[in-house]
Amino acid sequence: MGRTKDIREAVEAELGFDPLVDPADIAVRNINGDVALNGTVPSYPQYLEAAAAAQRVSGVKNVHNHLEVVLPPGDYRDDAMLTTAANNVRNVRDDIEIGYDADPAGVAAGVQDALDRYALIADDSDVGVYTSGNTVTLTGHVRTWAEHDAVVGAAWMASGVSDVRDDLDITG
């Protein structure tokens, strides 16, 4: 029973951690590493990303994606509306400013938790996660490029991060 619950909780945590997924209406079921995702998501990219997030979790053998894409009422557009929208997207200006600092403890803990879920980094690993403002610096040693990419990817996914400095060494 313990292991089944661990995998389900880990998948739920990963769905919550992944900024590309809104897990509000997703239910996770696990039977011996066979994970089923049920419920709804508001877009097709989230449908794909939810399954990818579940697949990242250690101990997951198969993901059965039973999610249904239900567009929010304002997002449904018929052909005429799509044509008009396409014609209106001529001059796009990007005036977006992101103005919040990463919470150092939160980022470090979030990245560490993600690495634990992926079961990629050994318990005796010396990987360090340090934050300053919106920049995360990663130090220490990993065994493979897969570990390296997982560590860097986890750092990028943490909220508030705008830059990741990669000072990791790959021992091979």
The stretches of 19-73 forming alpha helices (DSSP H) are 44-56
- Residue 22 and residue 65 share a domain: yes
CA dist 84 and 71 (Å) reads 19
Q: CA nearest 135: which of 110, 158, 168?
A: 158
Judge contact between 118 and 150, C-beta under 8 A: yes
In a domain, 69, yes or no: yes
Beta sheet of 34-41, edge-to-edge order: 26-31, 34-41, 62-69
Residue 40 CA from chain centroid, whole number: 18
In a domain, 150, yes or no: yes
- Residue 108 and residue 52 share a domain: no
pTM: 0.63
In a domain, 94, yes or no: no
Q: What is the pLDDT of residues 40-85, one digit of tens each?
A: 999 999 999 999 999 999 999 999 999 999 887 776 667 777 777 7
